[in-house]
């Protein structure tokens, strides 16, 4: 399968520092061995409770964070990735491997190469109230990336900004206003316009609609669907809301405590979840109710600290079917067709009813 974005064994750990000397005494394993692929034009969903590492994963893929280890590829050919793999396994031509990693592995990028990358990969934050600079006018917020990346002469920026504003359902009249003059939904449109300005190919949305009313949320989702179709965009869409994920995504990844426990077509994750965590999420998903603002996931118990994840299956302390095996042995990844999941030590009763 063709891929646009890929992570291999990606880890992002935050050191825990103690004492006046700030010595590392441990690590928060926010992202802990994540491998996934996103095909061109795909709308990939990423769900999981708060604190599972979704934002850290997104920020690492876009290289706002430096991974602790692992690899990130953007638009790298299968041949190149295979060559890197086999060179790594055989440990022979280390010079060639180093060169390929330098050229293709985003995990190694810094400085100007990161900057160039950002044109193609953009992030839309959860909260447009804090992510838009309150002292900048809309024309500058949306036009800034064009200026930073020197994509066109300054004299043309205004026209391009007005064109992008139209794409997201705003108008020229909005150009000279400030963020506080807009509603939550409009601000999210401004954030989307800013992300679109550089003509990116891949956009990560980090809970873009979770602060919005259901009707406004539906309008934003419709806008994202339209933009994806018109500009052949590829999305990674992070959300708390399984109902939203099921309705818009082509593929769905479920994250628990730094790891992906299941990836597959949303209908399968919903109707025949393979991992007990996915099943618990589905069962705890509230029935859509227009009066509710957010469909937050409510599961009994809390996500354990990623600084000290449970041994064996990470979900075992919260799993009602856990056995001794689950506490000792880490389950391995299995796949079938388009789905991958962390095998469970005890067979799940397949269909949900
Ligand atoms: N900069 C940081 N330093 C230390 N710990 C962090 C940092 N950012 C996130 N974390 C921790 O990493 C874990 C995952 O956080 P996050 O990626 O924000 O999860 P999510 O987006 O799924 O809610 C949490 O335990 C969080 O406290
Ligand atoms: Mg988050």
Which listed ligand is nearest to 27 at the C-alpha? Answer: 1
Q: How far apart are CA 1 and CA 87, in angstroms?
A: 22
> Torsions phi, psi of 69, nearest 5?
-160, 170
Highest mean pLDDT among 122-126, 197-201, 208-212, 349-353: 197-201
- Ligand 1 close to Cβ of residue 55 (< 6 A): yes
| CATH numbers and ranges of domains, the chain | 5-342 (3.40.50.300)
pLDDT tens digits, one per residue of 94-118: 899 999 999 999 999 999 999 999 8
347 burial type by CB count under 10 A (0-12 exposed, 13-18 middle, 19+ buried): exposed
Q: How far apart are CA 30 and CA 66, in angstroms?
A: 12
Mean of the per-residue pLDDT values for the chain?
89
Q: What SS3 class is residue 28?
A: strand
pLDDT tens digits, one per residue of 242-269: 889 999 999 999 999 999 999 999 999 9
* Token representation of residue 221: 């989702």
Residue 168, pLDDT > 90, answer yes
- Ligand 1 close to Cβ of residue 308 (< 6 A): no
Work out the average pLDDT over 146-159.
90
Residue 351, pLDDT > 50, answer no
Work out the average pLDDT over 10-24.
92
- Ligand 1 close to Cβ of residue 303 (< 6 A): no
* Token representation of residue 345: 């030590």
Termini Cα distance of the chain:
33
Please, which pLDDT band fits residue 352 given cuts at 50, 70 and 90? Answer: very low
- What confidence score (pLDDT) does residue 94 get? 86
Work out the average pLDDT over 135-144.
94
- What confidence score (pLDDT) does residue 298 get? 58
Query: 259-264 and 339-342 as β-strands: parallel, antiparallel, unpaired?
Result: antiparallel
- Ligand 1 close to Cβ of residue 53 (< 6 A): yes
225 CA distance to ligand 2 middle (Å): 22
- Ligand 1 close to Cβ of residue 87 (< 6 A): no
pLDDT tens digits, one per residue of 302-343: 889 999 999 999 999 998 888 888 888 888 888 888 888 888
- What confidence score (pLDDT) does residue 349 get? 46
């Amino acid at each position: 399968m063709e891929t646009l974005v890929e992570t291999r064994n990606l880890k992002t750990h935050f050191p825990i520092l103690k004492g006046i000397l700030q010595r590392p005494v441990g690590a928060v394993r926010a992202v802990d061995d994540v491998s996934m692929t996103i095909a061109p034009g795909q709308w990939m969903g990423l769900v999981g409770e708060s604190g599972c590492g979704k934002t850290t994963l997104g920020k690492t893929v876009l290289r706002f964070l430096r991974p602790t280890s692992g690899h990130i590829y953007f638009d790298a050919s299968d041949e190149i990735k295979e060559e890197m793999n086999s060179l790594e396994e055989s440990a022979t031509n280390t010079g060639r491997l180093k060169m390929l990693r330098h050229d293709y592995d985003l995990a190694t990028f810094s400085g100007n190469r990161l900057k160039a990358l950002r044109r193609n990969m953009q992030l839309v934050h959860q909260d447009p109230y804090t992510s838009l600079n309150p002292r900048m006018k809309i024309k500058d917020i949306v036009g800034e990336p064009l200026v930073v990346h020197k994509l066109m002469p300054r004299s043309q920026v205004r026209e391009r900004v007005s064109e992008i504003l139209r794409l997201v359902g705003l108008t020229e009249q909005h150009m000279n206003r400030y963020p506080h003059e807009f509603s939550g939904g409009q601000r999210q449109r401004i954030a989307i316009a800013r992300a679109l300005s550089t003509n990116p190919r891949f956009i990560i949305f980090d809970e873009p609609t979770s602060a919005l009313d259901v009707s406004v949320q539906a309008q934003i989702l419709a806008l994202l669907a339209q933009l994806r179709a018109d500009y052949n965009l590829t999305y990674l869409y992070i959300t708390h809301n399984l109902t939203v994920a099921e309705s818009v995504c082509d593929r769905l990844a479920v994250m628990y405590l730094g790891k992906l426990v299941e990836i597959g077509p949303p209908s399968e994750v919903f109707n025949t979840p393979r991992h007990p965590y996915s099943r618990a999420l589905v069962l705890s998903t509230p029935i859509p109710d227009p009066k509710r603002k957010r469909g937050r996931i409510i599961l009994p118990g809390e996500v354990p600290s990623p600084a000290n994840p449970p041994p064996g299956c990470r979900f075992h302390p919260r799993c009602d079917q856990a056995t001794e095996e689950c506490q000792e042995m880490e389950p391995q990844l299995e796949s079938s067709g388009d789905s991958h999941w962390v095998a469970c030590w005890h067979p799940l009763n397949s269909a949900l009813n």
